[in-house]
Every structure is written in C-alpha cells, then in structure tokens.
Structure 1
Amino acid sequence: MRRVLLAIGVPGLLAAGVLLTVARASGPYKATENPNVLWTIVHDRCVPNQIGENTPAPCAVVDTDRGYAVLKDRIGRAQYLVIPTDRVTGIEDQALLAQDTPDYFGAAWHQIDRSLARLGHTMPRETVALAINSKFGRSQNQLHIHVDCLAPNIRVALHWARQNIGSGWTPLVLDGHTYRATRIDGNTLDGAYPFRRLAASLADPVREMAEHTLVVVGTVWPNGHPGFILLDDVVKPLSGDRASGEELQDHSCHIAAFEPGHPIRPSDHLL
C-alpha cells in the first residue's frame, strides 16, 4: 500500500485535491505461485468448455476465431484480463509482430464496457486503461492485457499532457517513473497494433521488447477528436523500475466515485 495525491474529477478534480490510499497489485497472482496458471485456465478449461459445452466458464468470453479469451481477475472491482488462446509468453514473444497475429489490444478495448458494467455506470474514455507488464514486472508467463480503471492522479496528469503529445515519443513522468508517450487517433484500437509501434521504435526489438511495458489510455484530443495515448516504460534496474505499466491503473476504481456517468442497462453489456 502507498499514498498518492489524487484529485477529484475533471474539471472539479482540477480545483481540489484529497489524499486517498490506493492499493497497487503487481499482478493477478503472487510471484511465488505457478506462472502458468492463466495458460492452464484458458487452455485446459475455458477453451474446451466453449468448444464442448458452448459456455466459456470460468472465462467470460472465448473467441476462438479471433484467438482470445476474457477472464475476470480475482483482484479488483472491474478488472478483466484479455488472454490469447494460443501460447504467447508475453510482450517479448516475437509472434506478436507477425502479420497474422490477432489484434489483442484491439480486442481488449472492446472489453471496456464489460468492466464498466461491473461498476454499474458509464465513464469517459479517459478514465480507463489497458496495460501489459514487462517480462520482469509480471507474475504470469502467458500474455495478458489488464483492462481496468485508470488511477485518478494519472488521469489528471494525462489531461494536461495531451496538447504536447504527437506522433513522436514524448517523455512523461508518471507515478515516479519516466514513460514516453505517443498519439493514436481513432475511436477504437482496431488496427493500431501497439506492439508493432513499440517494436518500430527500438533498435533491436528481439532483444529489447522483454524490458518494456505498454499502457493504452483513452483520450479526447484538444480538437475534440477521440483517440488514445500509448505509453511505454523500460526496465531501469538502478532505480528499481520493473516496467509494470499496471501501476498506472487503480484496481479499486476510486475514479468511479468522481465520474458517475449514466447507469448501464443489461442490454448495454458486450458479448
């Protein structure tokens, strides 16, 4: 547990601050547990149940055509994990850069409404985030994208940083770690391929990808157009930075108290 300065709501959040205690989790399972738990759940239970019984349990979704499953994490009010149905170890897996690899980040953004349904109301796109940790900042050796609320203080920081983020990479200090940010335009992430964008910015992707984390946060650019902020951090051993972008999320979803939105009806849920 640690204490961070949170602001209350935008624009109200920009006028006052309050200290709240926010719990951070390094992942859905402790590092001492089996690092293949997620793979076992998806491969041995969810996929066979979907194929044989037409039910994805214990997953919420299994889409064998698109190559992913969706599992409610045991940590957090609204956290879901998007997990490949193929064996993909993590961000360092070179299969992620192949042209025929499923669009995992695109699929993950389509699960935002599922998370919001757990909260009972809608929220602006700026309040939710997708995150994948580096090889050195994760507990599981099966790729999984965390879908959950953004920490309120990060929401405020990115609100003010938007105007300085363009198609290049811009440095940003978030949660005490130096990230770099770039702009993605569009209402969805379909076809944006964050893994490829990261690889294109590295001198030696095969060697370097394992040390990076990626976070995607929804935004509305100053011109009113929807888009995303893609954030990247890299392992920094001397400072203890393990490149766990999940640190920018808040699995307690405190931001939901500041962004009430509109009630979600059962018909609003995603398939």
Structure 2
Amino acid sequence: MSAHARAVKIVALVIVFIVIALAFAAWHFHHNGNALWQIISQQCVPGQQQRNDPAPCQRVDLDAGYVTLKDRNGALQYLLMPVARISGIESPALQDPATPNFFALAWQQRALLTMRHGSAVPDSVISLTINSEYGRTQNQLHIHISCLRPEVRRQLDSLTPQLNARWQPQTLQQHRWLIRTLTSAELAQQSSFIRLMQEVPQAQQNMGKYGLALASLSDGRLALMAIERNWLKMNRASAEEVQEHSCTLLH
C-alpha cells in the first residue's frame, strides 16, 4: 500500500470516528437515559409497597430483587430489571456473588411470552440479551426477554455439535461472538456476568465493552454468547441484534 493510500485510509477512519462520536453525543443529549429507573423507582416499587399494585410493571419481587416490564417494542418483548440502581453490565455490583443472578431470573421469566401470546412459545424461539455500555439506550440494567432472529436460530442449530464449555469465536449477524455452552444448573449456580469476567481475560477490566446473550440449543443445552465492542467494524456490542421483536419464528 502506497503512502498516499495509507494517508487516505487514516483520514477516512478519523472521519468515521468523529461522525460516530458526534452522533453518540447528540443522542445522549436528547435522550432520557433514566426513563426505566424512573418507572421502577417512582411507579412500580412504590405501587407494589403501598397498594400491592406493580403497574406499569407486571411483577415486582422485592425479595428476589427484580421487576418485569412489558417493553413498548414488539408484541412479546419483556424486560427484567433490578429494583436497585445498577447502571448496566459495567457495574461493580454485578461482580458481587451476593447480587441476584439476573440472567437466571430472566430465563425463569420466559413464561411471560407464553402468557401474553396465549399459546406455548417454545424455548427454541426465546432469547435473552443485555447490551454493552455503548450499545444501550438506558442507564438501568435491563435484560431483554424476546424472540431470536430466524437466521441466528439456524446458525446456532448448525453450530450446536461443535459448541462446548469453552468459549469459542463464532460469527453471528456478521459480528464476532464468543460462545460457550451451559446447563440449566450452571446458569442458576453462577451469575453469567461473573462467569464472563472470570473466564474471558479481556473482560475483567472492560466489562462495559461487552454485551451478553442467551439462547437454547437443540440438544437441551444453553448457549451463552458474548460480543465485544469494535468501533472499527461499527460494532457497539449491542447483543440485542440477535433478537427479532416481531417474533417471525412463531409464524
């Protein structure tokens, strides 16, 4: 590559970074990133405590430390969130074993989709995601309980025979992911956030750069999937990209 071509490439990358930074700053300036926390702290929890009415949440479980809320997007999408103020995946609170196992709790609440749908929603359709610090819209930890994209379902089905309990790099939705398998018992035994921090060295000091997802596999195991932010590839580590809130898989 000639010196001129290298210079052009560097200038192009600088321009891309500037555009991304300006867009991100503009979005934050105009967006209320505390909307979910305001719903939890000003409506759901006080309503449950004072009137035994969690609305607009579906459930407030103070003992277990979480609420569930129907998301505005998608016919079946729900959010599971802590009743405590926890900003997101980068929060040190998630590295404390005493903090509720929110991923396991969210998987337990997948029956919400069946209840709203009015007929069985199989596990093969359902997924959990939490976006990175750079790929989310709200500064209150929220796990998306929603449907998996059909193309991701097909990719996972194809990958199932080669997946195991070690993190493996794989490509989903044109982005690089790390994927390992879990049993249902392992999901319940240890927080997926702690597992990611302990098992992926790059995540230990940079948890905010990662998004996490969970889906079932055709052999009964679960796939825990981590995506890392990569600005060069326009990847904000928005794990939600593996979900399709219109739930085509049900049709």
- Structure 1 residues 31 and 111: alpha-carbon distance in aligned structure 2, compared to 1, 3 A threshold: farther
| 2:67–2:80 CA contact under 8 A, matched in 1 | yes
- Deviation sequence 1:13-67 (CA, Å, 0-9, x none): xxxxxxxxxxxxxxxx998321000000001110000000001111000000010
Tell me, what secondary structure is at the counterpart of 1:220? coil
Query: Bigger CA drift: 42-51 or 111-120?
Result: 111-120
> How far does residue 206 in structure 1 lie from its aligned partner after superposition?
5.3
- Percent of aligned positions that are identical: 36
- Structure 1 residues 204 and 241: alpha-carbon distance in aligned structure 2, compared to 1, 3 A threshold: closer
Is 1:236 equivalent to 2:234 in the alignment? Answer: no
> How far does residue 126 in structure 1 lie from its aligned partner after superposition?
1.7
Q: Which residue of 1 aligns with 2:21?
A: none
Task: Find the aligned partners of 1:210 and 1:52 in 2 and give their Cα distance.
Answer: 35
**What letter is aligned with 2:207?**
M
Task: Find the aligned partners of 2:185 and 2:194 in 1 and give their Cα distance.
Answer: 19
Q: Which residue of 2 aligns with 1:35?
A: 33
Task: Find the aligned partners of 1:128 and 1:31 in 2 and give their Cα distance.
Answer: 33
| 1:78–1:148 CA contact under 8 A, matched in 2 | yes
Q: Which residue of 2 aligns with 1:58?
A: 56
- Structure 1 residues 151 and 137: alpha-carbon distance in aligned structure 2, compared to 1, 3 A threshold: same
Q: Which residue of 1 aligns with 2:221?
A: 227
Tell me, what secondary structure is at the counterpart of 1:251? coil
Q: Which residue of 1 aligns with 2:145?
A: 147
> How far does residue 122 in structure 1 lie from its aligned partner after superposition?
1.3
| 1:187–1:227 CA contact under 8 A, matched in 2 | no
Matches within 5 A, 1:257-268: 257=251
> How far does residue 191 in structure 1 lie from its aligned partner after superposition?
2.2
> How far does residue 170 in structure 1 lie from its aligned partner after superposition?
1.1
Task: Find the aligned partners of 2:34 and 2:122 in 1 and give their Cα distance.
Answer: 34
- Deviation sequence 1:71-102 (CA, Å, 0-9, x none): 00011010000010000000000110112101
> How far does residue 116 in structure 1 lie from its aligned partner after superposition?
2.2
Matches within 5 A, 1:25-174: 32-174=30-172
Task: Find the aligned partners of 1:194 and 1:187 in 2 and give their Cα distance.
Answer: 12
Q: Which residue of 1 aligns with 2:191?
A: 193
Q: Which residue of 1 aligns with 2:7?
A: none
Query: Higher helix fraction: Structure 1 or Structure 2?
Result: 2
- Deviation sequence 1:142-161 (CA, Å, 0-9, x none): 00000001011100110110
Task: Find the aligned partners of 2:117 and 2:28 in 1 and give their Cα distance.
Answer: 25
Q: Which residue of 2 aligns with 1:254?
A: 248
- Deviation sequence 1:111-134 (CA, Å, 0-9, x none): 111112222221331211000000
- Specify which structure has the bigger relative contact order, considering alpha-carbon pairs within 8 angstroms and separated by 6 or more residues: 1
Query: Higher strand fraction: Structure 1 or Structure 2?
Result: 1
- Deviation sequence 1:161-202 (CA, Å, 0-9, x none): 011111111111111101010010127832242101100123
